[in-house]
């Protein structure tokens, strides 16, 4: 059953920067086109999608930190490498593209690893959607998040925005941001639940990686179950929710981490989780 599992510690990224901790448990993806505020291209979209799909089979990576270089997170799709070509494409090719961008969000959600986004400066368009697809979001006071699709003549319904954003910040606030495309300030994002915390710029990545390390060294199998249930239960009624969680928790009770936690408690020690 482990034949399809493989390490990703030394993954050779082509369109962004990839770095892993010494034990391979914490990976950091850095969008690294700072001269243009880290926009996405067709190639970086595709590589991110394929990477998160592949991480379902990772034998080492337990948490992913996603950030941007140079004081900004991501400005969205590159104007001249994505937006301009899109204005010249026929409908079938446009649909292939929009499905691909949505596949990135789905791959991030399906990956068992919690994703921690470290967001500074500009976080706009597709960049805002990647941040939204993360499981935890840390920001700086300078973070400006904008779902600005309407600013370029498009619907706010992009990459799952109309489904995901209301679940995080509420229907009324999401409607406002998706209709007018204005930037959400860091303080608004924190008050509305988009950000889990704000940190000074020079402390942001350290805080995100510390959060990732705490998760990676925790009961990792149980964390994957939590992430799965958080995603699946959106579409469930109360009966299905309770039954699904009963089955999920019973499965976690079969793990050695559950026994390790009890043994450590009985011995008045801190548990050391192994993720199994």
Question: DSSP letter at 151?
Answer: G
Please say if the pLDDT value at position 199 is more than 90.
Answer: yes
More confident position, 152 or 42:
42
Edge-to-edge strand list for the sheet holding 63-68: 17-20, 26-31, 63-68, 115-119, 136-139, 197-198
The Cα 71–Cα 37 span in angstroms is 8
Three-class SS state of 63: strand
d(CA 146, CA 178): 9
Residue 117 has pLDDT above 80, yes or no: yes
Q: Is the pLDDT at 1 greater than 60, yes or no?
A: no
Residue 160 main-chain phi, psi, to 5 deg: 90, 10
Sign for the CA dihedral angle at 165, 56, 245, 261 comes to negative
Q: Is 247 left (phi over 0), alpha (psi -120 to 50) or beta?
A: alpha
Which region among 57-61, 106-110, 155-159 has the lowest average model confidence (pLDDT)? 155-159
Whole-number mean pLDDT of the chain? 95
Strand partners, 19: 28
pLDDT of residue 4: 87
Residue among 274, 266, 168 nearest 222 (CA): 274
What average pLDDT does the segment 160-170 reach? 96
In this structure, the strands spanning 136-139 and 115-119 are parallel
Question: Quick one: DSSP state of residue 22?
Answer: T
pLDDT category at 103 given cuts 50, 70, 90 is: very high
Cα(214)–Cα(205) distance, integer angstroms: 14
What is the rounded average pLDDT of the residues 167-194?
97
Q: Which residues pair with 48 in a beta bridge?
A: none
Residue 80: what pLDDT? 85
Q: List pLDDT tens digits, range 216-234.
A: 999 999 999 999 999 999 8
Q: Are 131 and 125 in contact (CB under 8 A)?
A: no
């Amino acid at each position: 059953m482990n034949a399809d599992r493989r390490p990703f510690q030394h993954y050779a990224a082509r369109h962004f920067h990839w770095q892993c901790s010494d034990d391979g448990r914490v990976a950091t993806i850095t969008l690294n086109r700072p001269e243009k505020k880290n926009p996405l291209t067709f190639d970086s979209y595709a590589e991110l999608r394929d990477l998160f799909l592949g991480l379902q089979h990772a034998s080492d990576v337990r948490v992913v930190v996603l950030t941007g270089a140079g004081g900004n997170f991501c400005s969205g799709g590159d104007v001249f490498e994505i937006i301009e070509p899109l204005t010249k494409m026929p409908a079938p090719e446009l649909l292939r593209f929009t499905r691909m961008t949505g596949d990135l969000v789905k791959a991030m959600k399906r990956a068992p690893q919690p994703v921690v986004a470290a967001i500074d400066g500009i976080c706009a368009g597709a960049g805002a959607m990647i941040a939204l697809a993360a499981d935890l979001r840390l920001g700086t006071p300078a973070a400006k998040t904008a779902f600005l699709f309407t600013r370029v003549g498009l619907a706010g319904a992009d990459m799952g925005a109309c489904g995901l954003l209301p679940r995080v910040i509420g229907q009324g606030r999401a409607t406002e941001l998706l209709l007018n495309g204005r930037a959400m300030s860091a303080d608004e994002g924190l008050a509305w639940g988009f950000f889990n915390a704000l940190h000074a710029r020079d402390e942001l990545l350290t805080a995100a990686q510390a959060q990732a390390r705490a998760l990676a060294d925790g009961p990792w199998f149980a964390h994957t179950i939590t992430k799965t249930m958080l995603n699946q239960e959106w579409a469930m009624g109360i009966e299905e929710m309770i039954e699904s969680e009963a089955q999920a928790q019973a499965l976690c009770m079969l793990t050695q981490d559950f026994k390790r936690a009890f043994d450590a408690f009985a011995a008045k020690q801190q548990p050391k989780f192994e993720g199994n």
